[in-house]
Structure 1
Amino acid sequence: MRRPVAATPLGHNRDFLILWTGEAVSALGTSMSVLVFPLIGYAITGSPAQAGLATTAVLLGEVVARLPAGALVDRWPRGRVLLLSYLVGAGCYGSLAVATLAGALTLAHLVGIGFVSGVTDSFVAPAASAAVRTVVAEPDLPVAYTQLQIRGHAADLVGPPLGGALYSVARGLPFLFDTVSYLVGALAITRLRTPLPAPDRVRRPVLADVAEGLRFVWRHAVVRAILLWGAVLNFAVTLALVSVTLRLVRAGVHPSAIGLVDSIAAASGVLGALVAPAIISRFRTSTTTAVTSLLLAAVMVPMAWTDRVPVIGALLAFGIFLLPAANSGISAYLVTVTPDRLQGRVNSAGGFIAGGVVPLAPVLAGVLIGWAGGRVATLVGAACVALSLVPLLSSSAIRGLGRPGSWSATELPAEELPAEELPAEQPAGERPGD
């Protein structure tokens, strides 16, 4: 059962603002490093295919650790998970900064740290989502998630050009900045007043907890359709954007100009996030999600025929304008219908399904560019975005997903849940594993 939270305007919710600020600084550093990974990978190897290995390693680390991380987040104090994750992230990027500035960075080091960073991120995502649900009243969750979208897009707006500029001065500077950003995130966590403990629950083997999260996700028709959509869309967008980045690198475009592509798109994301609350409240969540996919697929086709940064940025800006509203609505829906004790596991199970094939996208982008050219790689990404509509249009459950006020009616009825998914109130002596 969720602890009641007093309805406090988000602008006056101290703990939410602390979470928002700490993660905003960390997201800024991460957005810089995401741009730098393929750039420095290409500088080390001179190969488009190998340039994507570090990004693949990050995504692979997230996928490998995602399921057990969610189960452990539901066992451990969530504030401690966030603190330790930020400190590990600082150590990882600190080692990259030192090695790069010393001229001793190797591809193996870059890929290894990328993998560890992905593992760390797999703990941050469910812990941070559960933390937001803890400090924000349920009616305010859709707006809270739009604020998180603003944070992410603002980081994407500033981070890539700043990362490209710092990379031009010294390749290790973006990693040094990311190290500091993780330390700021860790400091922010120590300032929270609201406790973020582990939820009270029955102790069982980790694998049993993992299975419980997957079972909840798969038995919930709306959640299942959303995550299948997300799996195809995330893979497709990653494939297309990595293809564009590597294509521009091969064309000799300056790193800061490449970062400008992301910044133009991120500016649209910020604007989209500002109007997202109005979109979420006025339009059905199913409609917003489907239209978002259509727009993304439409803009990626002409991107295949140009290397001009302003044109590519403008197309992306148009395509992602609705993405904050779609993401915010879906995120708020997921945390609303998920019991508190399952937050970590369901978040991780959802992330595993939605991102399970994403690690293949950067490698496939490099292979496609090397084999058939950047135009073909981008068009393949656009086709995959269009395919993401299939789980949306084929599911009556997702087609019926309305506005926030109707979400409670779509929750999975208790009688449809296995006994172990119901709130456990067993005597201590009868708890499994005691």
Structure 2
Amino acid sequence: MTERSDSSRMWTFLVVWLGQFVSLVGSGMTTFALGFWVLEQTGSNTRFTLVAFFGVLPGVVALPLAGALVDRWGGRRAMLLADLGEGLCVLTAMLLAWTGQLSFATVCVLALVNSLFGAMRWPAYSTLPPLLLPARHLGRANGMIHAAEAGAAIVAPLAAGFLVTSLRLPGVLLMDLSTFVISMVTLLAVRAALPRPAPGPQPHDRAGTGRPSLGAEVAYGWSYIRARPGLWALLIFFAVTNFTVIGLARTLYTPLILGFTSPKALGTLLSIGGAGLLLGAAAMTAWGGPRRRIHGVLGFTLIQGVVIILGGLLPNAFLVGLSVFMLSFCFPIVTGSSQALWQSKVALDVQGRVFSVRRMLGWSSLPLAYLVGGPLADHVFEPLLAPGGALADSVGRFIGVGTGRGIALLYIVIGSLTVLTVIVSYQFARLRHVEDELPDALPSPAHPSWSGT
């Protein structure tokens, strides 16, 4: 690439990145406000996690199809469709809330539909850095993406915590709706600037139409990963740690914190987590991650396991805030290292399909975590550390007794399982040496148009 071409492509990346950041802020506000509304209306941790379940499972199942469509249509068109569909879901929720007809059931249905449209966004957005930027900048580009997520994680809960008490739920949803419009405008503004990779080897076309069937394209992502044991092992590792770290630990932070403090303090602590995410993303952007990216994945996941244990020790805002901060700080380094590894080892023209299957399998444990997390908290761990509970006079002497302390015990178990997973995974040589076994797939020349029009 020429210097001028590099600069032009970076500006294109920044325009899309900015639109996605604004959209993330709006979506984060809606997630906070709807989560608070569900807990306020039902008082049930199980129902709270069920909303997360319906917000993830359909999108996970639809990911392979979404990835094949991204490779066919182009990332820009797929992201526009995602914005349009998610915006319609927010509009529906806003109208129902305004008329007093919003219910727990409708929130679950809207979360399901929103998840289907959202399945388009991730594979499309994930293919953007390797299409626009040279391989040496992938870690930094992924750091910028995480910086946007971090900024949203700071701004969204603080803003939503204030606005949900003044504007109430409909006002928060209206603000989110405006962010989808901004995101769509940025995507329309770069219509001719997004590149598209030249097609490489494709699945066999049995119909003789000159193009493989959609089913063959979906299956190709699976076969691509299974033929590479190191990538397959990395995928299994993330399926396990996503269950513990994201599915259980991050989801149950809200009821854990509300067990000993107020909603305003919750917003503050979640924003502290956002600050950790921002600093981790800034570090990843400036540093680019470890030279051996697998060390970034395993090493910082180990740290996450330790700080999850820390968060369960005492009902103390400083200790829990430190745990939230460090857990969030590690996320951009873990996911950025993994993302750069995949982006550099997977052929550009099949990344939509491969990344979608990767996301589906890596996130396949999340719906299970959302299903079992609430019942585990409500019916197993919370009763154990309630006053007079089975562990109140033993474990309760060390970590406390009462509301939220059962979830704290669950945190200690989750953190211990995460640490054990890292230790066991490091023993598998194909995973440790995945970067040595697989050649880089990124070509050096620039690619022609990816606008998807």
- TM-score bracket, normalised by the shorter chain, equals 0.7 to 0.9
Partner of 2:311: 303
Q: Hey, what's the Cα distance between the residues in 1 that align with 2:22 and 2:289? A: 29
Match of 2:415, SS state, is helix
Partner of 2:18: 21
Partner of 2:426: 393
Pairing 1:97-246 to 2, within 5 Å after superposition: 97-169=94-166, 170-192=168-190, 193-195=192-194, 200=199, 203-238=211-246, 239-246=248-255
Pairing 1:307-386 to 2, within 5 Å after superposition: 307-371=315-379, 372-373=381-382, 374-386=407-419
What is the letter of the counterpart of residue 177 of structure 2? Answer: T
What is the letter of the counterpart of residue 185 of structure 1? Answer: S
Q: 1:298-329 CA distances to partner (integer Å, 9 max, x unpaired)?
A: 11113123333332121222234333223222
Q: Greater CA deviation, 111-120 or 234-243?
A: 234-243
Pairing 1:217-296 to 2, within 5 Å after superposition: 217-238=225-246, 239-251=248-260, 253-277=261-285, 279-280=287-288, 282-296=290-304
Q: Hey, what's the Cα distance between the residues in 2 that align with 1:11 and 1:138? A: 17
Partner of 1:416: none
Q: Hey, what's the Cα distance between the residues in 1 that align with 2:123 and 2:198? A: 13
Pairwise CA distance, 1:33: 2.4
Change (3 A) 1:131 1:284: closer
Match of 1:180, SS state, is helix
Change (3 A) 1:365 1:256: same
TM-score by length of 2: 0.82
The answer to whether the 8 Å contact 1:10/1:17 transfers is no
1:95 is the counterpart of 2:100: no
The answer to whether the 8 Å contact 1:79/1:196 transfers is no
Structure 1 regions of 5+ residues with no counterpart?
414-434
1:33 is the counterpart of 2:42: no
TM-score by length of 1: 0.86
Q: Hey, what's the Cα distance between the residues in 2 that align with 1:159 and 1:336? A: 32
Match of 1:411, SS state, is coil
Match of 1:74, SS state, is helix
Structure 2 regions of 5+ residues with no counterpart?
203-209, 383-406, 442-453
Partner of 1:56: 53
Match of 2:365, SS state, is coil
What is the letter of the counterpart of residue 211 of structure 2? Answer: R
Q: Hey, what's the Cα distance between the residues in 2 that align with 1:24 and 1:268? A: 17
Change (3 A) 1:248 1:85: same
What is the letter of the counterpart of residue 134 of structure 1? Answer: L
